């Protein structure tokens, strides 16, 4: 999918022809500003950048994977995100969706690599065992291809757990020696968008940020952008209030499950997983796994297939805020130590429920006395 560069007017004309109004375009820019944790005042800057920026060539490499990240990218539609992005980038090479095939496709790839300055998006893990024979394209191993293509790229974006950490193909023992891009490619800026699959909102936002600022967004210590992976799922989960209240699902499809109570005891890994699933959701923001009644499996974390299993049993101990103590003892001893991770407001609630209403001026002092007596 290779198109000529658009001017500002031709871009808006092209979007209008696809049913995207100026208002829809600005709504998209506002949504991107929110996703990127930028002030609302940055919306005009994003809009100006997208209207005037030269479309960067993009090479999408696909290796040892299930194609889920391509599928999620193609399903971006609200508000016509795929349309906007495909008008803003030049997707020069993507084996799954490009019209060209065989020698013609490889010629396009070679030409793009020689010209340089493109963005490389990698999907799927890279087999390294036995000289990489377990994934070959056009007679070349994935190891050779990714090093050549990424080596001349302006930036590399990995999408999905397989491309970032090796995913389940790298699960011990790995018969193909599967690895993530960061363990194979060196000396090139790499930003990781893990998930199984990743969320298309995050890949679109990363490209929008690049077009707006000419650089990749800030990342954490393992290369994940902070705008998408800066907070725990547990912190923004709509079931967090039930966790704080000690209301947990104990058996699948019980009354608590139907009421939407916390899934932590059923194996939810939200307290130790960093991603913005609760806020951006999937399928045009329709829902996400926990909202649909299934606990988080921690797919945005390194080695989740090994480190987060068994998926339907809770983690033995989550460091940082005493979630295990809370899950086991809430309702039995709501004291200061137990409440360190769930909020001191629960103390006052417990006292009011037990001792009746107090005047506002008396409540704080009495609460301290009651807590001391419980301790």
Residue with the bigger pLDDT between 146 and 37: it is: 146
In this structure, the number of other CB atoms found within 10 A of the CB of residue 55 comes to 19
| Over residues 311-320, mean pLDDT | 72
> Same topology for domains 8-229 and 233-343, yes or no?
no
Q: Name the token pair of 248.
A: 């947990």
The CATH class given to the 8-229 domain equals alpha beta
Instruction: Tell me which residue of 71, 53, 54 sits closest to 62, measured CA to CA.
Output: 71
Residues pairing with 117 in the sheet: none
Task: Name the residue ranges covered by the structural domains of the chain.
Answer: 8-229, 233-343
Q: Is the dihedral of CA 282, 155, 217, 163 positive or negative?
A: positive
**C-alpha–C-alpha distance, residues 51 and 47, integer Å:** 6
Kindly report the pTM of this predicted structure: 0.79
Q: What is the mean pLDDT of the chain?
A: 81
CATH code of the domain occupying 233-343:
4.10.480.10
Query: What are 243-282's pLDDT values in tens digits?
Result: 999 999 999 989 999 999 999 999 999 999 999 999 999 9
Tens of pLDDT, residue by residue over 59-95, are 999 999 999 999 888 777 654 545 655 666 788 899 8
**pLDDT tens digits, one per residue of 202-248:** 998 998 899 888 889 999 999 999 999 999 999 999 999 999 999 99
Confidence at residue 193, expressed as pLDDT on a 0 to 100 scale: 97
């Amino acid at each position: 999918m290779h198109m000529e560069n658009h001017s500002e007017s031709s871009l808006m004309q092209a979007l209008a022809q696809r049913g995207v109004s100026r208002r829809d375009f600005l709504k998209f820019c506002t949504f991107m500003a929110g996703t990127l944790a930028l002030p609302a005042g940055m919306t005009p800057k994003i809009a100006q950048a997208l209207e005037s920026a030269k479309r960067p060539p993009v090479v999408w490499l696909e290796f040892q994977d299930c194609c889920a990240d391509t599928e999620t990218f193609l399903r971006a539609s609200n508000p016509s995100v795929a349309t906007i992005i495909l008008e803003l980038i030049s997707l020069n090479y993507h084996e799954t969706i490009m019209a060209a095939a065989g020698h013609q496709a490889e010629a396009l790839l070679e030409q793009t690599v020689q010209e340089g300055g493109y963005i490389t998006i990698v999907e799927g893990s890279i087999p390294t065992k036995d000289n990489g024979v377990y994934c070959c394209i056009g007679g070349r191993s994935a190891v050779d291809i990714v090093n050549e293509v990424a080596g001349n790229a302006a930036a590399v974006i990995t999408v999905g757990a397989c491309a970032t950490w090796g995913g389940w193909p790298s699960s011990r023992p790995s018969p193909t020696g599967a690895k993530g891009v960061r363990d194979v490619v060196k000396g090139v800026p790499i930003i990781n968008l893990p998930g199984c699959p990743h969320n298309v909102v995050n890949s679109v936002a990363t490209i929008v940020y690049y077009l707006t600022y000419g650089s990749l967004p800030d990342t954490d210590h393992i290369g994940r952008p902070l705008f998408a992976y800066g907070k725990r799922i547990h912190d923004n989960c709509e079931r967090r209030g039930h966790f704080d209240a000690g209301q947990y699902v104990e058996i699948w499809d019980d009354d608590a499950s139907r009421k939407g109570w916390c899934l932590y005891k059923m194996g939810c890994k939200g307290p130790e997983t960093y991603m913005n699933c609760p806020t951006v959701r999937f399928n045009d923001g329709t829902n996400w796994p926990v909202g649909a009644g299934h606990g988080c499996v921690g797919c945005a974390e390194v080695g989740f297939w090994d480190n987060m299993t068994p998926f339907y049993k809770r983690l033995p101990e989550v460091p940082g805020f005493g979630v295990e103590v809370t899950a086991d003892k809430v309702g039995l001893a709501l004291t200061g130590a137990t409440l360190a991770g769930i909020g001191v407001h629960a103390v006052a609630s417990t006292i009011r429920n037990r001792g009746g209403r107090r005047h506002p001026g008396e409540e704080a002092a009495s609460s301290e006395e009651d807590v001391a007596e419980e301790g």
